[in-house]
Structure formats: structure tokens, C-alpha cells
């Protein structure tokens, strides 16, 4: 079994390969001095396809793909993602690349800055703006969080092609049940402590939402203050932050095979975004957020004044599952046993924006 781990950073892409998930061969950088915020390993076809959103500060953004595990990359002649002229908008960044469900093997979604959803029906070569979300009457009231105003989470329903959830900062969670024609906010119970009404219909600064494909009605959410679970596909949310040392953070990951098993990397308050006590620790819940256990065997015990961003934690699809995270200080850690033990994969990289891993 070979596992590929992709590491997107502020200054390029690194790829790591391992047959045992303990010893890693790390190669890179590719696309030096570009921001790689979004990456996907699409395993739906006969061979894996890699997709990367590559942002050059001078020359803008493009989406490239590789069908040979990163040996060579292809870029479409025409812009893969571009806002139509009538929108007056220009693409600033791609925050998410999400392959569609298995029965739609050519569908890929992209979440962008400014906040928009794009859909590809040719495997990621070209994307089309989902007008229903772009034309939403709430859009003038969405505003940028610290990192920009972007759709950073895209969760297509695994069986119902008309249903999907997206999340943005700020704006919160929105869902569609008619293939993207109309969207409704889905933030009931999610707090926005930076607004006069702390429980508005929309406007929350949601950092990440995760869904297990075998139980798509159950969602887990890391908010800008608050950790939540929904058991009705976003119809309402309840707090699951009890047992966590802090309710702030960015990442939220579901176990690939065990619904209700989730991973989180807590940080202290919005004004002090470090791990509690400078201790590097992943938290896992095995009961859907009812209780949490700190996992830090092999992680730095002190002096870890870094952070893990919203897409810088992931799971692979092996059994037992591998769990991975990268830090703003350029360290990448892997666990081959679902978080019980950790090993460093890489250090001294640029800020890690995203990690993605899969059996290849």
C-alpha cells in the first residue's frame, strides 16, 4: 500500500510518499513561490488525479492537474476558473477543490474568494459559476474574515446530486436541495459573538464543516468560537465543545470509515491563536463530540507556538486510518494508527495551508 500526502504551503507544493506511513520520501518544492491553498486527490477514476490551485502573487491563479502523481502537470489553455464578465468580479483565490460523489466521476467543485461556488463537469479542466449562490440576496452582507471572504468548505451529498452544503467566512453555512438553484442559510444555534445579534440567520464566521459520507445528515463544525454538531443536515446545531480545552480553532476532520469519530486542533481565543500552553495536541472524539481525548504521543510537548489552519488537517482512506496535519511553522506530522502515535514527516517548510492524503 502506497500513500500520497500532498502539502500545500504559502510558497509551493511538496509531495510525500510512503508504503508504511512511518517512513516518508518528501519531494519539492513544486510551483515555488506560489500559494497552494487547495488540493485534491481524486481517486474516483482508474488512476488518481491530482488537482492543485496555484496562486502566483504576480500572475494570478490557475488550476493544474496531474495524472502521473505529480511528475508532470497540465494546465488548460483557457482559464479553468473565471468569473463571468457580467459579475464584475475577479478570482482572488481558490480555497477548496472537492471531487463530487462517486457516481459523478467528472464532477469537481471549487470554493473561491470572493465567496462563490464553481462546478466542473470535465474533471476539473473547466468550471462554471453556480449562479444560484452568487445571486443570493444575502451576498452583499457577507464580508471578509481575517483571511478573506471565501467559500472554504464544499460538501456534496454522497447520494442526492441536488443536495449540497457550503460554508464561508463570513456568511456561515448554506445548503441547497435543488442542485444549486436556490440556497438557504443553515446556521441555527451557531454563535456569532462579533455581531449585535449573537445568533443571526447568517453572517457567522464558520471555519470548517465536515461530513461523513455514510451519514450525511450528521455534520461537525468548527466555528470562530464554538464547536458544533448537527444531526439534521444543518437544520440546527448543538455545542460539542465540552471536553475541549478551547472552543476556537480552524480544522475539523471526520474519520474515513467510522462515522462519529472526529478530529480537531484547538487553539486559544481569537486574540491568542496558539495551542493551549504551547502544547501540540490533536483532540479526537469517538462519540460524535460527546467526549474528547487529547492525542499527543510523539508531538512537541512544549514550545509549539504555531497553529493548524482549516485545511491543514486531513485523513487518508486507509484502514486503519492515517491522520495528518501541518502547521504554520512548516512542520507536518502523520499518524498511521488513527492518532495514537505521531511522527514528523517534514519540518522547516513554509506555512502549511492544506494537506491531503490518499492510498494510491
Partner 1 sequence: MVSLRLPSMLHPLARGHSRIEVTAATLGIALDAVREQYPALERRLRNEQGELRRYVNFYVDGEECRRLGGVDTPLSDHSEVMVIPSVAGG
The binding site for partner 1 (CB under 8 A) comprises 33, 56-60, 62, 75-79, 82-83, 85, 88-91
In the complex, the smallest distance separating the C-beta of residue 352 from partner 1, rounded to whole angstroms, is 17
Rounded CA gap, 240 and 256, in Å?
20
What secondary structure letter does DSSP report for 204?
A: B
Exposed/middle/buried for 208, CB within 10 Å: 0-12, 13-18, 19+? buried
Residue 272: how many other CB atoms lie within 10 Å: 10
332 in Cβ contact with 355 (< 8 Å):
yes
- Using CA atoms, how far residue 315 sits from 23, 58, 318, in Å, is 17, 33, 9
325 in Cβ contact with 312 (< 8 Å):
yes
In the complex, the smallest distance separating the C-beta of residue 43 from partner 1, rounded to whole angstroms, is 28
Residue 303: how many other CB atoms lie within 10 Å: 10
In the complex, the smallest distance separating the C-beta of residue 33 from partner 1, rounded to whole angstroms, is 6
What secondary structure letter does DSSP report for 321?
A: P
In the complex, the smallest distance separating the C-beta of residue 64 from partner 1, rounded to whole angstroms, is 11
311 in Cβ contact with 96 (< 8 Å):
yes
What is the signed CA dihedral for 338, 339, 343, 347, rounded to 10 degrees?
110
Rounded to the nearest 5°, which phi and psi values hold at 299?
-100, 155
Helices in 109-266 by DSSP H: which ranges?
131-134
Nearer to partner 1, 130 or 205 (CB): 130
CA-based nearest residue to 73, from 34, 127, 23, 120: 34
In the complex, the smallest distance separating the C-beta of residue 145 from partner 1, rounded to whole angstroms, is 22
Amino acid at each position: 500500500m502506497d500513500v500520497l500526502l500532498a502539502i500545500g504551503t504559502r510558497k509551493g507544493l511538496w509531495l510525500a510518499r510512503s508504503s508504511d506511513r512511518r517512513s516518508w520520501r518528501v519531494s519539492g518544492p513544486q510551483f515555488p513561490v506560489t500559494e497552494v491553498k487547495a488540493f485534491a486527490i481524486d481517486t474516483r477514476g482508474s488512476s488518481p488525479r491530482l488537482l492543485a490551485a496555484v496562486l502566483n502573487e504576480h500572475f494570478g491563479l490557475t488550476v493544474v492537474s496531474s495524472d502521473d502523481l505529480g511528475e508532470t502537470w497540465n494546465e488548460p489553455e483557457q482559464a479553468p476558473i473565471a468569473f463571468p464578465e457580467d459579475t464584475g468580479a475577479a478570482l482572488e483565490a481558490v480555497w477548496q477543490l472537492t471531487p463530487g460523489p462517486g457516481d459523478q466521476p467528472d464532477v469537481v467543485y471549487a470554493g473561491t474568494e470572493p465567496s462563490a461556488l464553481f462546478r466542473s463537469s470535465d474533471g476539473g479542466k473547466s468550471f462554471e459559476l453556480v449562479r444560484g449562490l452568487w445571486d443570493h440576496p444575502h451576498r452583499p452582507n457577507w464580508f471578509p474574515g481575517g483571511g478573506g471572504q471565501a467559500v472554504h468548505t464544499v460538501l456534496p451529498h454522497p447520494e442526492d446530486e441536488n443536495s449540497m452544503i457550503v460554508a464561508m467566512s463570513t456568511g456561515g453555512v448554506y445548503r441547497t436541495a435543488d442542485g444549486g438553484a436556490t440556497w438557504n442559510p443553515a446556521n441555527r444555534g451557531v454563535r456569532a459573538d462579533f455581531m449585535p445579534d449573537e445568533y443571526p440567520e447568517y453572517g457567522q464566521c464558520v471555519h470548517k464543516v465536515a461530513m461523513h459520507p455514510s451519514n450525511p445528515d450528521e455534520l461537525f463544525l468548527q466555528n470562530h468560537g464554538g464547536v458544533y454538531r448537527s444531526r439534521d443536515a444543518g437544520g440546527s446545531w448543538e455545542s460539542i465543545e465540552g471536553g475541549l480545552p478551547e472552543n476556537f480553532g480552524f480544522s475539523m476532520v471526520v474519520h474515513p470509515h467510522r462515522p462519529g469519530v472526529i478530529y480537531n486542533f484547538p487553539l486559544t481565543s481569537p486574540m491568542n491563536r496558539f495551542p493551549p500552553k504551547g502544547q501540540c495536541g490533536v483532540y479526537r472524539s469517538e462519540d460524535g463530540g460527546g467526549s474528547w481525548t487529547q492525542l499527543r504521543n510523539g508531538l512537541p510537548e512544549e514550545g509549539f507556538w504555531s497553529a493548524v489552519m482549516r485545511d491543514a488537517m486531513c485523513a487518508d482512506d486507509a484502514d486503519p486510518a492515517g491522520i495528518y496535519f501541518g502547521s504554520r511553522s512548516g512542520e507536518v506530522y502523520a499518524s498511521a494508527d488513527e492518532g495514537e502515535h505521531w511522527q514528523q514527516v517534514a519540518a522547516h517548510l513554509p506555512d502549511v495551508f492544506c494537506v491531503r492524503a490518499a492510498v494510491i
